[in-house]
Structure 1
Amino acid sequence: MLQTPAVSRSGDVPVENLTQFEYLALNSPLNLADGHARQELTPAQSKVIGELPDMFAEAAERPVAEIEREACDMFFTALGQRSHPSAGDRVLSCYSSSLAMEIYARSLVTGTDAIALIHPTFDNIPDILRGVGLRLVPVEEEQIHDADLTPELLASVGAVFVTTPNNPTGRVLGEERLRRLAEQCAEHDVVLTLDTSFRGFDPDAQYDHYEVLEASGCRWVVIEDTGKLWPTLELKIGWLAFSANAGLPLAKIHSDILLGVSPLILLLVRRFAADAAEGGLTDLHRFIAENRAVLRTRLADVPDTWFVDEHSRVSVDRLHVGSRLGLDVWSALRSHNLYALPCQKFHWARPSEGDHTLRIALSRSPLSIARAGQALRSVLLEDG
């Protein structure tokens, strides 16, 4: 079904997806729209950046496959994924998680015409899946987390797609739920697909998913991402991992699109992942929690507003703006040169369910969060 482009109250900004909203915010000093990491480097990370000339020389001299394997092992292990398959065999390196998603979608459509997709989630996932001709069947987040999928649903699709932690809700698929979902997918020969791009923010998402998936015997694909964790100016890797029995032409389609990724970026990821394992991840969790607290404190007494995802640990937070329309609040914020993200398009099957919420990015400097919280408070009180 075609959707009418969203237009702000001022009527001058037609946008058709969340990324276009994010693009409008890129040059603003108060960009709280996209979920990419834009905070300052830590001292340890600054030291890594200072070694870029040495890393460039190393990348030019060493075999790319060796660097790729080291980066993959360091990143996956730092996030608790010790049972991951090896790079170059069943882990394909991509420029971004969106490219990994495109490769997955083009592979999946060779074997099925339908996929069950978590609802809500970031809209580039349904857009990419629809773009290759797949029919999307919405599965509510509560159903995935609280109950078995029905045999009728599983018989009607070739894959089930879950974002965990979910964007924007932050909800994590727990180990027992993943085990049961994988068992169901194995029983029905359905490909279980996970997007774990926000895994690094929540320790509850860092149990060994690959151990669970491999034990189930199901066909599986996992999309991993480094781009949300570290402020590396969009230097990132998206990884596409898959089971030996996936039965999809992932490697072939990967080779149709790219030869490989930069070994320099792989070395950068390896070094940042090593820092994460040595305490950087704990520091990141503390940083995001402190920014979340600042934002919530600034808005705590604003009437007719509340934060939707009470227990979320990911680097975004959703604010319900009560009777106001999120798009109208977005327009008012824009006059302050402040950008957040209206949430209609996360609800890709029923956009009206996001009419009254905004998603606010937290991977920013504490000063930016404080200033944005004050501006948001002023706008909401004026409109209250």
Structure 2
Amino acid sequence: MTEQLLDLTQHEIEALKTRFNLADAHTHQQQSPGQQEIVAALPALWYEAEATRQADLEDRFKEVFFRLHGQHSVRAESTMLSYAASISTLVAGMYLKRHDISVSLVEPCFDNLPDVLHNVGVQPVPVPEDVLHDADRIYERLAASVTTDALFLVDPNNPTGFSLLSHGRKGFEEVVRYCVDHDKLFIVDLCFAAFALADPRFGRFDLYELLDTSGVRYIALEDTGKTWPLQDAKCALLTCSRDLHEDVYNIHTSVLLDVSPFILNFLSRYVEDSIEDGMASVRDVITRNREAAQKALAGSLLEHIEPAVNVSVAWFRIQDANVKATDLQRHLAQHEVYVLPGTFFFWNEPERGESYVRLALARDPGEFLASVTRLREAVDGYGA
């Protein structure tokens, strides 16, 4: 069955039917004490939203979201909201198509990004993630690698956890400097940025100040969907430079009117809760589960690749060159354990992904431990 599936989302749909779902990166952990109080107040939040202007709820959500992330330079009017990051990506893709803008997209990354671009008639060209790994060579390696009109990066990246923040400010500064000097549109997917914020080694500097003062043309995508246990109640944010705003806004309004006022009210409380607890509810479960996965799989066929940022997914290398990810994933599914093969993340060269699998970490720790224990048993039984 699994070999007939066309993309990672189809795999994730199948994984929702299994007992040990380590596939989708959506948040399935239980509520923290502060979040339990929000859930208990849902009726009041409903009526509060009902009595409040849509514009006020939108402004409040943007304010608390960017305050949490330390992005104090964002102009509220430059940010457009949608109910899923895929919709924001669709709008960005439609802008590229309308203006006949060619784009280079980082590889590996989640296959939803190239799929959305393909579906609107944009054919992305791969740019290897490793061109970003040496801060002193980012500029020259981009100059040698990028032949398109736009550069599309994911930071932190899904599935690897790499981030330009591993270079401090310099990583983003070098990318922006390259884009300005070479007149490239810079598109950046920041949907995992909350994990950099939650990681005490990183945090976030005010990226929008850098973008807006540099003169770069840009589209930035942010999201709530992978951060809090919201049962997929979420909101994505698209922010662009002034020179793009009118065109992007006109495309955006052709796609949707607004995000549910109740969802905006509900989400704002979760964001405020994370401001109060310093992102502990996000950080602690991911850290605990990553450690559990490393311990459970130590010495096995799967080798954990340490991410730059402690994101909500774990990337494992298959240590036996004769074992392919697609075969291993099929074997694991027969044992009710569902992981994602690396092939789809290497969207231009799937064969390169046969050496990797991805595990999702945003799970209740007790259930996650049971899953990785079963995973280890199934991995050890592979080929036996």
- TM-score class, shorter-chain normalisation, is over 0.9
Which residue is 2:282 aligned to?
284
Q: 1:177 to 1:284 in 2, by over 3 A?
A: same
Q: Which amino acid aligns with 1:342?
A: P
Q: Distance in 2 between matches of 1:192 and 1:310?
A: 24
Give 1:53's match in structure 2, choosing from 16, 30, 43: 43
Question: 1:298–1:153: structure 2 CA closer, same or farther, 3 Å change rule?
Answer: closer
Question: In structure 2, what is the Cα distance between the partners aligned to 1:374 and 1:152?
Answer: 45
2:42 maps to amino acid:
L
What does residue 62 of structure 1 align with?
Answer: 52
Q: Does 1:80 align with 2:78?
A: no
Counterpart Cα distance in 1 of 2:308 and 2:95: 35
User: SS in structure 2 opposite 1:295?
Assistant: helix
Q: Can you list the C-alpha shifts for 1:339-370, whole angstroms capped at 9, x where unaligned? A: 11111010011111110211000000111221
Consecutive unaligned residues in structure 2, runs of 5 or more? none
- Residues 66-124 of structure 1, C-alpha deviations (whole Å, 9 max, x = no match): 110111110121122121220xx211110100010001100122223410111110001
TM-score (norm: length of structure 1) = 0.92
- Structure 2 counterpart of 1:107, from 80, 88, 95: 95
Which residue type is aligned with residue 164 of structure 2? Answer: L
Matches for 1:133-152 after TM superposition, within 5 Å: 133-146=121-134, 147-148=138-139, 149-151=141-143
**What do the CA deviations read for 1:128-169 (whole angstroms, capped 9, x no partner)?**
112222232211111134221444655x32211010000000
The alignment status of 1:186 with 2:177, answered yes or no, reads no
CA RMSD of aligned residues (A): 1.6
Structure-1 residue corresponding to 2:107: 119
Kindly state the Cα deviation for residue 248 of structure 1 after the two structures are TM-superposed: 6.4
Which one has the bigger helix percentage? 2
Look up the equivalent residue of 2:177 and give its one-letter code: E
Contact 1:113 1:133 in 2 (8 A): no
Residue 362 of structure 2 is aligned to residue 359 of structure 1: no
> Per the alignment, in what secondary structure is the counterpart of residue 246 of structure 1?
helix
Partners of 1:249 and 1:205 in 2: CA distance: 32
Superposed CA offset, 1:146-194 (max 9, x none): 221444655x322110100000001111221111211221222221111
Give the Cα–Cα distance (whole angstroms) in 1 for the partners of residues 38 and 270 of structure 2. Answer: 7
Cα distance per residue 1:32-51 (max 9 Å; x no partner): 10011110011110110111
- 1:167 paired with 2:158, answer yes
Per the alignment, residue 320 of structure 1 pairs with 317
Q: Cα distance, 1:27 vs. partner? A: 2.8
Q: Report deviation, 1:309.
A: 3.0
For residues 301 and 185 of structure 1, the distance between their equivalents in structure 2, rounded to whole angstroms, comes to 43
- 1:366-381 alignment to 2 at 5 Å? 366-381=365-380
Aligned residue in 1 for 2:18: 28
Q: Which runs of 5+ in 1 are unaligned?
A: 1-6
Q: Does 1:44 align with 2:41?
A: no
Task: Report the Cα offset of residue 29 of structure 1.
Answer: 3.4
Structure 1 residue matching 2:381: 3-state secondary structure: helix
Structure 1 residues 239-281: Cα deviation after superposition (integer angstroms, max 9, x where no partner):
1111112266211111111111101111111100000111151
Partner residue, 1:234: 232
What amino acid is aligned across from residue 165 of structure 1 in structure 2?
P
Distance in 1 separating the partners of 2:196 and 2:84: 21
Deviates more, 1:176-185 or 1:144-153: 144-153
For residue 242 of structure 2, give the secondary structure of its aligned residue in structure 1: coil
Aligned match of 1:3: none
Q: Residues of 2 paired with 1:163 and 1:344: CA distance?
A: 18
- Do residues 296 (structure 1) and 287 (structure 2) align? no
